[in-house]
Structure formats: structure tokens, C-alpha cells
């Protein structure tokens, strides 16, 4: 249980939504959500070839992270009363291997908003990185590089 700054126990976070996805056969299997909305063939990145219709777990993580971060960016912009306009987030997730053979991930988030000056977009991006649930989940475990590309 988390503790508040004054030492008292903080209330447990309230669950807002739970997604459940079952995967068989690991990276070479199939992922199916409990709702049925997601049903995809999985493939290993190294085994990709022409005509391969599968996706790999890093793509799925990148999609989730980009969507979550874009939503967090919108929340931050609204709270600060900034007109964000059209904006997009591209998440690049890299599977890494350390010298000891352990696997890991690294992430690059590229945020684009042509209607905002780059300096202002950098501020919003930094604030979104503090509130995005994906950013909070990986903080201290996965290196995340952010880049903001605004109107100049």
C-alpha cells in the first residue's frame, strides 16, 4: 500500500478499465482480447518477410504507448488551456539485448503539432510524460527519449 506524504496510507488507485488479452505460442502465436476486438497473428521481428501479416509485441506496445501518450498530451493541453490542434505521436519501441544476454526495451516518442511553437510543444510533451500511464509504468526501467516537433 502506498503512503501519503504525511505517513498515512494512501487509498489504493481506483480501477478504471482492465484489458485482457490471451496469447498462445508466444511471439509466434496469436493474441486475442477478451472483447474480441483484437485478434492478431504474432510474429517474431527477425522472421518477418514479404507477405507476413502478423505483428510483433513491440508494435503492439508502440501502438498502445503512442495512443496513451497522445491522450495525455491532450489532457495536459486542456488543463493549461492551450489549443493543441492537430497533433500526432509516433512511438518507436526497440527490443534490446545487453552484454549478459538479458533482453530489454527502449522507446522514442516523436510528438508533432504544427500549430504550436516547438518550445511550447516541448513543455507540453514533458508534462505529458509525467502523467501518461505508460510513461509512469516504464519510468526507471525503460529509457524513453522524447522529441517535440512544432512550428519552429
CATH superfamily of 57-149: K homology (KH) domain (3.30.300.20)
Residue 8 pLDDT class (50, 70, 90 cuts):
confident
Domain boundaries, the chain: 1-55, 57-149
* pLDDT for 1 beyond 60: no
- pLDDT of res. 142: 96
Burial class for 130, CB neighbours closer than 10 Å (0-12, 13-18, 19+): exposed
* pLDDT for 80 beyond 60: yes
Same fold, 1-55 and 57-149: no
* pLDDT for 11 beyond 90: no
Residue 54 pLDDT class (50, 70, 90 cuts):
confident
- pLDDT more than 70, % of the chain: 93
Q: Which residues contact 87 (CB under 8 A, 6 or more apart)?
A: 70, 73, 74, 111, 112, 113, 115
* pLDDT for 53 beyond 80: no
The three grid cell numbers given for residue 119, joined into one nine-digit string? 518550445
Q: What is the CATH number of domain 1-55?
A: 2.20.25.10
Q: Running DSSP on this structure, what letter comes out for residue 121?
A: H
Question: What is the tens place of the pLDDT at every residue in 55-65?
Answer: 999 999 999 99
Amino acid at each position: 500500500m502506498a503512503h501519503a506524504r504525511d505517513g498515512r496510507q494512501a487509498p489504493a488507485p481506483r480501477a478504471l478499465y482492465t484489458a485482457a488479452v490471451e496469447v498462445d505460442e508466444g511471439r509466434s502465436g496469436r493474441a486475442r482480447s477478451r472483447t474480441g476486438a483484437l485478434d492478431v497473428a504474432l510474429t517474431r521481428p527477425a522472421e518477418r518477410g514479404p507477405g507476413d501479416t502478423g505483428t510483433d509485441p513491440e508494435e503492439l506496445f508502440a501502438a498502445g504507448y503512442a495512443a496513451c501518450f497522445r491522450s495525455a498530451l491532450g489532457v495536459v493541453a486542456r488543463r493549461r488551456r492551450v489549443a493543441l490542434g492537430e497533433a500526432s505521436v509516433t512511438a518507436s519501441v526497440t527490443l534490446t539485448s545487453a552484454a549478459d544476454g538479458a533482453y530489454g526495451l527502449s522507446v522514442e516518442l516523436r510528438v508533432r503539432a504544427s500549430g504550436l511553437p516547438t518550445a511550447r510543444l516541448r513543455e507540453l510533451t514533458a508534462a505529458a510524460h509525467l502523467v501518461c500511464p505508460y510513461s509512469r509504468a516504464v519510468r526507471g526501467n525503460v529509457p524513453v527519449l522524447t522529441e517535440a516537433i512544432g512550428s519552429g
